[in-house]
Amino acid sequence: MCLFQYDDDPDPEEQLPAGLLYVPVRPGAAGPTLRMFRTPLGERTAVGFTRQDLLTATLGAGQSSIRLAEPALRSLAAPLGVGRLVLDPVLSAPAVAAQPVHAAEEPLRAL
């Protein structure tokens, strides 16, 4: 049961097919391999983007991707124990620096 009322929207707990998605991959020995991510609470999740520009804006221009239908992405993620799918995430951690930043070089940040 949902605690919120949505007049025109479908039940937010129902999984509706998302159609074809741009799915981030990394190179693997046998071909492209799905990239898995973690939610802010640490749960493993598959990620799909509805548009290429959204994937590029979130993960960068160098991120490889493949096109998969939403049910196919869920089927590939399920044997890995991943049942969650996040569509069009907009927040991500900053890229890891290639070299460690020394304390003297680190910019000050407001708390």
Evaluate if residue 108 carries a pLDDT over 70: no
Q: What is the pLDDT of residues 14-64, one digit of tens each?
A: 555 668 999 999 999 999 999 999 988 889 999 999 999 999 999 999 999
Looking at residue 55, what is its pLDDT?
A: 95
Looking at residue 1, what is its pLDDT?
A: 46
Looking up tokens 């159609």 gives: 19
**Cβ-count burial 44-64 (b if 16+ within 10 Å, e if not):** eebbbbeeeebbeebbeeebe
Looking at residue 40, what is its pLDDT?
A: 84
**Of 85, 76, 78, 109, whose CA–CA distance to 18 is shortest?**
85
pTM of the model: 0.67
Q: Identify the DSSP state of 79.
A: G
